[in-house]
Structure 1
Amino acid sequence: MFTCRVLGHRLRFRAEGPVLRWECERGCGAGGSKTYDSADAAGRYAAAFDRQDRHDLGKRAPLIGLLPLRLWRSLRRPRGD
């Protein structure tokens, strides 16, 4: 799939007993599995890997996201300011 080649896979993780499974959310066919010693361990890994940080995006954006804008404005500002 072209989108996965350009942007990378959007992997989703889930635990099925002691087996951790992952597959691309876009349906390109990428995926795999790994077996752990316990279902608890597989569940912890699935929860950790499947986390998306989209809900925290606004909290981090001003520092990193606006940095190019801040630099641009500082370069355009007259020297007397």
Structure 2
Amino acid sequence: MVWQVVAMWAIVIVTITWFVRDERRLRREAVLARAAAYYAHAPKYRHVSVEAPAQPQAPAPRVGGLSRSQRDFLEGLANKA
């Protein structure tokens, strides 16, 4: 008689646990389906192509060349060598 009561309670506990887990799974799947539907159709999350970065420009040519002091310095280096 005791084993029959224990068996009934075991069946009740297993059934309730199974029900609760299944309900949680169904809720989780519903939330994922809503999220997938939202993100799939929201324009904010669509792919946006990125333009290639601009190529670096060559340095602008110096106007006027070297100053007098720069020329004197370079001439001094050339004379020492």
TM-score w.r.t. the length of structure 2 is: 0.33
Q: Which one has more relative contact order, counting CA pairs under 8 Å at least 6 apart?
A: 1
- Would you tell me which structure has more helix in proportion to its own residues? 2
- Would you tell me which structure has more strand in proportion to its own residues? 1
